Structures are given as C-alpha cells and as structure tokens.
Amino acid sequence: MKKYSLNMLLIVFAIGLLFAAHFRIIDSYIQIVVMTIGINIMMSTSLNLVNGNMGEFTCGHAAFMCIGAYISSILSVFCFGTKFGAPLLPAASVVIVFPIILLIGGAVAALSSLLVSVPSFKTRDDYLAIISIAVNYMIISAIENMDFVGGSRGFQGMKDTVWAMIDIFDGPWMLFWVINFTVFTVWVIRRFISSTYGKGVNAICQDEVAAEIMSVNTNKIKIINFMVAAGLAGCAGGLYAHIIGYVNPQSFNILKSTEAMVMVYLGGMGSLSGAIISAVIFTGLLEVLRSQAIVDGLLSPITFMFPDWEPSAGVIKWVMIPLLLVIVMQFRPEGIMGNRELGDVFPKLKKFYRFK
C-alpha cells in the first residue's frame, strides 16, 4: 500500500487529466500550460542533478534541450514527414516509434554532454559555468549555420508526426507523452540518486577529494551524471519541439538555460521535490502574470499613485519574477525546500509513501 500509494495517485491524476483533455473539459490553452509544466519539471529536475546534487555550476542546460529537440525533430520528419521526401516509415508505426525518436534525441544530447563533463574533471564553479555557457552558444551557433535544418529560420514539419498519431486515434497525444516522459524523468532521477551508486554524486558535491580517495570513480560518475541530466533535457527538448511544431535555435539560448536555473535555485539545491514544486510554481506564475487584469490588480496601489503609468503584463512579468527570486534568495537562500525532500518537511507524508 505504502509502496504504491503515490503511483496510484499519479495514475489516477494522469488518466483524469487525459480524459479531461480528450472530452474538452480543459481547453487547449490549459493543456499547453500543463505540458509546459511537464517540460519544465523535466528541465529543472535534470539540471538539479548537476547543479544541486553534484554541486557543479553549469548554466547551459538549454543546449542539451536544443540538441534533443533538433535530433528528434529531424528524425521524426525523416520517418513521418514529407519535408525530406516520402516518409520512411508507415504512419501506423508512429505510436511505437515516437518515444524511440525522443529517446534517440536524448541519447545524442547525452553524448554531447561530454563537451561539459570532460572539462569538469579539472575545473569547477565559475570556470565550468563559463564553459557551459560557451557550449550553449557553440551548439546554437552550429545549428544556426546548418542550412539543411533551416539555420536561424528554424525548423518545422514535425507536426506531421503528431497528425499521424491523431489519425490513429483522435486524442491528446502530446499530453500523454509529456506525462509519460515527466514521470519517466522523475523516476530515473529518483532511483539513480537514491542508490549507493548515485550517492557518489552527492559525495563529489560535498568533498571531491574525499570521494576520490574513498573509492568513488569521480570522473566516471561525473560523466554519467552529466549524461543522465543532458539526456533527460534532450527528451524534454524533443517533446517541446513536437508540441510547438517549430524549433528555432534562439529559443534555446541562455535565457532558456537561466529559466531552468531559476527553477532549480527556487526549489532548493539537490531537492527533487523542490525542483518539481518550483517548476510548477514558476510556470504557473509565468502564465498568471501574462494576464493584464491580474498584473493591473497586483500593481493597483502603485498605479493609483502614478495614474499615468500603464504597465504591460508581457514586460512587467520579467520584473516581477526576478524580483521574486531576489526576495527568495534574500530570505530563504536555500530555496523553497532547501536540500530536503517533501517527506522531511512533512513527516506525516512518510506514512503514505517512502520518499527515499
């Protein structure tokens, strides 16, 4: 009972969500928000593996998302699209092939993480941050210069894959895949990080010298940890590309990486549940502050004093969210959860589920 309670809850929730989407109880806007939340959970939990659990400071996570997005988009256009000629695979196989395409995108992203993980053998902290930013720029610039994927104009055509799925069964397919991959991400990370093998990552964070002396193969663990993080970010990128139906290298620039970092630091370093919670809050906040009415309401005391000032929601939200981050860092520098998990904060929850 204890072992399966959360799983049951998740399954019920996911099925409920899918039904609601299928029967148009929630409209496509809400669906997009939910899918963005899922992708952001994948991004923040996977970055948390590197920045939180391993204590390295990388800020180029979107690069891996970009690689995953492009690789899986290209593959899906090859397999089911018409852009590069006739589809390679019959449209009926799409439901099986699509997750494989996403995983291949993730695998390539994982391989590309060597660009950051190999330098991380010898550098740490600020220097690794610079390297990771450089990798982010490198990958974006490389793709901008590849004409066969559209260069800086971006790449599209992967909606064909989604249409192929809808031809088989008219349902919220992308929502289905996002839920699956989000659960998969959290599942992989949780199991990895709670094993003795994965605790080597924490050991590296807390004292790398001691870890190496105490028989942890630090270089190997670093490579693997970066690979897991980048691979899962790559899957997130693939999903993102298929939801939007269009990818542009500039949508994976340093701003996107920063968004992932903000979610990690907001949630608390090294806390998986913190990363999930902050991804939900952050995405929710972005959407809520998009509404002009809410922004007007929030700022009414100020606009009352300065009637000439008419703040626009699209701009002002990028003042309010960083401000929130400043406030959180000021009064709770360890983030919402610190390095604790939900079960540590609310011990009563442990009755229903074991969190570690």
User: Within 10 Å of residue 97's Cβ, how many Cβ atoms?
Assistant: 21
Give per-residue burial for 19-37: e unless 16+ CB within 10 Å, then b: ebbeeeebeeeebebbbbb
Q: Out of 38, 81, 198, 237, which residue is the one contacting another protein (CB under 8 A)?
A: 198
Alpha helices by DSSP H, 119-217? 125-144, 159-168, 173-194, 196-206, 208-213
By C-beta, is 198 or 238 nearer to another protein? 198
Tell whether residue 224 is a contact of another protein (CB under 8 A).
yes
> Do 82 and 161 touch, CB atoms closer than 8 A?
no
Tell whether residue 320 is a contact of another protein (CB under 8 A).
no
By C-beta, is 5 or 253 nearer to another protein? 5
Tell whether residue 211 is a contact of another protein (CB under 8 A).
yes
Q: How far is the CB of 199 from another protein (least distance, A)?
A: 5
Question: Which helix (DSSP H) or strand (DSSP E) does residue 124 occupy?
Answer: none
C-alpha 354/C-alpha 213 separation (Å) is 32
> Do 337 and 267 touch, CB atoms closer than 8 A?
yes
By C-beta, is 153 or 220 nearer to another protein? 220
Q: Which stretch binds another protein (CB under 8 A): 17-25, 33-41, 211-219, 299-307?
A: 211-219
Tell whether residue 195 is a contact of another protein (CB under 8 A).
yes
C-alpha 295/C-alpha 36 separation (Å) is 21
Tell whether residue 274 is a contact of another protein (CB under 8 A).
no
Tell whether residue 347 is a contact of another protein (CB under 8 A).
no
Tell whether residue 250 is a contact of another protein (CB under 8 A).
no
Q: How far is the CB of 221 from another protein (least distance, A)?
A: 8
By C-beta, is 14 or 203 nearer to another protein? 203
Tell whether residue 218 is a contact of another protein (CB under 8 A).
yes
Find, among 272, 261, 262, the residue nearest to 345 by Cα.
272
Tell whether residue 339 is a contact of another protein (CB under 8 A).
yes
Q: How far is the CB of 207 from another protein (least distance, A)?
A: 5
Dihedral (CA of 285, 291, 294, 299) sign: positive
Q: How far is the CB of 340 from another protein (least distance, A)?
A: 11
Q: What is the DSSP letter of 251?
A: G
C-alpha distance from residue 182 to each of 176, 179, 217, 301, 309 (Å) = 10, 5, 29, 40, 42
By C-beta, is 204 or 313 nearer to another protein? 204
Tell whether residue 153 is a contact of another protein (CB under 8 A).
no
C-alpha 217/C-alpha 35 separation (Å) is 37
By C-beta, is 193 or 260 nearer to another protein? 193
Q: Which stretch binds another protein (CB under 8 A): 156-164, 188-196, 237-245, 249-257?
A: 188-196
Give the binding site for another protein (CB under 8 A).
Answer: 187-188, 191-192, 195-200, 202-203, 205-207, 209-219, 224, 228, 339
